Amino acid sequence: MITFGIMSLNLESENSYINEIACHAESLSMEVFRFIPSEINPHTLLVKGRKFNPVTKNWRDCEAPIPTIVYDRCFYGEDEHSKQCLPIVTWLKSRSDIIFLGYGLPNKLELYQVLKNTPLSSYLPQTQAVLDVDSVLSELTAKHKVILKPINGSQGYGIYYLKRNEKTIHVKTEKQKRIISRIFPNEAKLVQWLKQLLKQRNYLLQPYLELSNKEHQPFDIRTLLQKNERGQWKEQGRGVRIGSTGGILSNLAAGGSVITFKEWITSLKPSKGEYIQQELDYIFDILPSTLEKNFMPLFEIGIDIGIAKDGSIWILDINSKPGRKVLLFTNPELKDTLYTKPLLYGKHLFETGPTERKVYYEKTLSH
Ligand SMILES: Nc1ncnc2c1ncn2[C@@H]1O[C@H](COP(=O)(O)OP(=O)(O)O)[C@@H](O)[C@H]1O
Ligand SMILES: [Mg+2]
């Protein structure tokens, strides 16, 4: 029986998703073992974790060898436990006897730097590392509206919109589903605030794109691409996330809502809808192979696409550990498919062996 390992930073994370995967395993002659990287004993190569019992549908504590097939669902923060686990995961990824479904992606800035030299460059918002306060001020003067986001961010956390008015500067962010707005009366006050912000974490800067609909709600298209049981990339579906009126984020974690892609695209003029469809098909067709050519093998990616008021199309974000909420909401019939795909691809990898992979030195808290 193949053991399908699921690795996360705590044994309660994504319980409903991981339980569903576990319930689908037996019919594929697989068993599921979940564990935390920091529980690996480096001497014995055994790890304490929980094995799923398909009869009782319960998890039982046990110690077992590190599974050969690992589905990595570790979401790192800036906390000590994340910092402890990251080098262990990097070590696991370097072992040739362990096969990861996907090896993750680097941070947003490294992704940009690589993708800007590919045919996808015209879809990428111009992105630069924030090195100091002065670079933010000069970009703000040049562009009037900019976005600051953490290089290692996710779920819309810590994203700031900055707008220069004649004398004042308007800063907006969203925290715990609320829009927080602040007006700085002059540049000196903004500089004080920026200095503090930039001390906390590394940021990147992008021009602010007008990604809102007619109701002034920011929105984006979220697509899930996954490999199937033969290792071929397939699109699982698309949904449209809509944020709060006057807000800046369309992330669900920020309190957004969801509509189907069909509902959204049919609300556009047919010629515009057709154009956008073609562009999206092109992006989704070449993105997975472009990523795998430049980085490590992947199993799935979630892509956030922004459509600006002028019709321009932007790749905003690529996640190697995507959520499934949008798709389960817009395409509930995909439920069983979404819960069996990781198992099927894991089985494929087990049977065919790992794809050749480059040596990977992880520098950042992002994979
Ligand atoms: N350059 C930008 N201009 C306007 N809105 C943006 C820009 N970048 C991101 N956003 C908004 O912020 C959201 C989160 O940004 P994203 O890059 O996906 O970061 P995260 O990893 O936190 O999800 C996007 O879904 C979009 O609504
Ligand atoms: Mg995102």
Q: Quick one: residue 14, left, alpha or beta (phi over 0 = left, psi -120 to 50 = alpha)?
A: left
What's residue 292's pLDDT? 97
Q: Give the residue from 263, 249, 251, 246 showing the smallest Cα distance to 302.
A: 251
Q: Is the pLDDT of residue 289 over 90?
A: yes
| Reported confidence tier of residue 266, pLDDT bands at 50, 70, 90 | very high
pLDDT at res. 357: 53
Pocket of ligand 1 (CB under 6 A): 125, 147, 149, 153-157, 159, 206, 208-209, 211, 218, 220, 248-251, 304, 306, 316-317
Distance CA 224, CA 13 (A): 21
Nearest CA to ligand 1 atom 13: 249
Q: Where are the domains of the chain?
A: 2-100, 108-123+212-352, 128-207
d(CA 132, CA 261): 40
CATH 3.40.50.20 fits 2-100, yes or no: yes
How would residue 105 be classed by pLDDT, with cut points 50, 70 and 90?
very high
pLDDT digits (tens, 9 = 90+) for 50-72: 999 999 999 999 999 999 999 99
Which residues have C-beta within 8 Å of that of residue 107, sequence separation ≥ 6?
A: 151, 152, 364, 365, 366
What interhelical angle do 108-115 and 270-294 show, nearest 10?
Answer: 100
Q: Which ligand is nearest to the Cα of residue 149, counting in written order?
A: 1
Quote the ligand 2 centre to 302 CA distance (angstroms). Answer: 9
CATH fold of 108-123+212-352: D-amino Acid Aminotransferase; Chain A, domain 1 (3.30.470)
